[in-house]
Amino acid sequence: MSTAAAVVVYGATGHTGRFVVAELRRRGFTTIVSGRDAAQLAALAAERGDVQVRPATVDDPASLDRALAGAAAVVNCAGPFAVTAGPVVEAALRAGIPYVDVAAEIEANVSMFADHAEAAREAGTSVVPAMAFYGGLGDLLVTAAMGETTAADEAHVAYGLSGWQPTAGTRVAGQVSQQRRAGRRVRFTDGALQYHDDGVSEQDWSFPEPLGRRRVVAEFTMADVVTVPSHLAVPEVRTYMSVEAARELASEDTPAPEPVDALGRSDQTFVVDVLVRAGGVERRATARGQDIYAITAPLAVEAVRRILAGETRTTGVASAGAMFDAADFLRALSPHLSVELGGGPCPRDGFDS
C-alpha cells in the first residue's frame, strides 16, 4: 500500500485532531484538514505546510461530500460526537470510504453500531468507532488477553492516570453525555448497559509496579463497555479510574493540558491494566505510555493504515478488537506504548477491598 493515500481529518484543529494530523504526516499520508472553522484550518495549514484545507459543517452534507471527495479515509476528531458522528459517517458511506472516530461518548458509540452497521456492511466499508485511548486501547488489550477465546465471565479495565487535565472537547463530551443520561450513571452488567442512580464508590486496585496499589473510582464507566461487548461474550465489563485523575477531571479549575516535549505531549502518564476472568482463570494485559490525547493519534492512524492495507478481520461497524489482530496491532504501537501481555493465569488479583 502506498501511504500517499489522502486521509481527511475532520476536527483537525482540535487538540486531538492536531496530534492525528502530525501522525498522518509523520507516516507519509497525504493529509486533508477539515472542520467548521475555515480560518483556523488555514492557520493550521500555514503552520504544518503540505496539507489541503477543506472546510465543512455537519449541517451541510454537500460540504462534507466536497471534503471527502477523492479521499481514501476519514478520521473524525470533532466532538461532541452526538452531533458530528452521524453526519460524518453518512458522508463517508456516501463516498464509499472507511470512517474512524475517537468518540468517548458511550451513547454516541452505541448509536454508531445501532444506526450505521447495516449501511456500512452493505457498502463493504470499515467503520471503527472509539479508535482511541478510551474504547480502542482497552478493547485491544481485552481482546489480546483473551487470545483465541471469545467468551469470559468478566473484563476489568483499570485506568491508572497520573492526573487528567481535560481539553475543552473532553469537558463538552462529559456534559453532553450527562444530558443524554439525564444525570444518571451507567454500567455494563448482566450483558447490558444499565442506567442507575447508585452513588460513586472507591476501591483499591493493584497496578503492576512501579505504580502499585492505588485508590480508584469503581464504575467510572468508559467507552470500553460498548466496544468490548460488541464482539466478545463478556456479561460484566467494568472500568475504573485513579482517584487523582477523576478529581482533576471533575474540578472546573483544572487547566487544559500543557505540552512538555517536542511531540507536544503533556507530562501525564498512564497505565491501562486489564484483567479478564474466565472459568476461574485470570489473564492480564497492561499498557503504559504518556498523554492519553497524544496516544490516540497512533491508534487512529495505525487503524487507517491497516484498513487501507486490507489488514482487517471484518467490514461494517466494528471495534478495534474486532476489526484488527489485537496483539499484532498493540505490538505495532511499541514506539508509543509499552505493552505486556500475560497470556496465562495471573499470579495476583487486581482487587483489594
Ligand X SMILES: NC(=O)c1ccc[n+]([C@@H]2O[C@H](COP(=O)([O-])OP(=O)(O)OC[C@H]3O[C@@H](n4cnc5c(N)ncnc54)[C@H](OP(=O)(O)O)[C@@H]3O)[C@@H](O)[C@H]2O)c1
Q: State yes or no: residue 168 binds ligand X (CB under 6 A).
A: yes
Position 170 contacts ligand X (CB under 6 A): yes
Phi, psi (rounded to 5 degrees) for 5: -55, 140
- One-letter amino acid for residue 243 of the chain: V
The residue whose grid cell reads 468478566 is 154
Q: Does 132 bind ligand X (CB under 6 A)?
A: yes
| Binding mask of the shown chain, residues 285 to 314, with x at each position contacting ligand X by CB under 6 A | -------xx--x------------------
Question: CB of residue 314 vs ligand X: minimum separation in angstroms?
Answer: 21
- Number of amino acids touching ligand X (CB under 6 A): 34
CB of 39 to ligand X, least distance (A): 10
- Nearer Cβ to ligand X, position 135 or 160? 135
Residues 22-51 that bind ligand X (CB under 6 A): 35-37, 40
| Residue nearer to ligand X on the CB measure, 40 or 162 | 40
Kindly report the backbone phi and psi dihedral angles of residue 57, in degrees, each rounded to the nearest multiple of 5, phi listed first.
Answer: -120, 155
Q: Minimum CB separation from ligand X for residue 50, in Å? A: 20
> Grid coordinates standing for 152?
469470559
Run of H or E residues at 196 = strand 192-196
Give CA–CA dist 128/140, Å, rounded: 13
Separation between Cα atoms, residue 341 and residue 284, nearest integer Å: 6
Cα 261 from Cα 289, distance rounded (Å): 14
Q: What minimum distance in Å lies between the beta carbon of 270 and ligand X?
A: 10
63 sits near ligand X (criterion: CB under 6 A): no
Which CB sits closer to ligand X, 43 or 309?
43
Three cell numbers at 171? 469537558
Q: Which of 15, 54, 265, 288 binds ligand X (CB under 6 A)?
A: 15
Q: Minimum Å distance from CB 213 to ligand X? A: 25
What gap in Å lies between CA 40 and CA 194, rounded to an integer? 40
CA angle 154/158/160 to nearest 5° reads 170
The reply to whether 167 sits near ligand X by the rule CB under 6 A is yes
Q: How near is the Cβ of 133 to ligand X at its closest, in Å? A: 3
Which lies closer to ligand X via its Cβ, residue 106 or residue 123?
A: 106
Q: Helix crossing, 224-231 with 106-123: angle to 10°?
A: 40
**3-class DSSP assignment, residue 102:** coil
**Least CB distance to ligand X at residue 189 (A):** 22
- What are the backbone angles phi and psi of residue 80, rounded to the nearest 5°? -75, 135
**Which amino acid is located at 4 in the chain?**
A
Binding-site member from 138, 160, 169, 321 for ligand X (CB under 6 A): 169
Question: With binding defined as CB under 6 A, does residue 336 bind ligand X?
Answer: no
Stretch that binds ligand X, among 128-136, 190-198, 230-238, 311-319 (CB under 6 A): 128-136
- What is the DSSP-derived secondary structure letter of residue 233? B
Residue 3 as a binder of ligand X (CB under 6 A): the answer is no
Q: b or e along 277-309 (b: 16 or more beta carbons within 10 Å of the residue's beta carbon)?
A: bbeeebbbbbbbbbbbbbbbbbbbbbbbbbbbe
| Contact residues for ligand X, defined by CB under 6 A | 11, 13-17, 35-37, 40, 58, 77-81, 83-84, 102, 104, 130, 132-135, 167-170, 173, 223, 292-293, 296
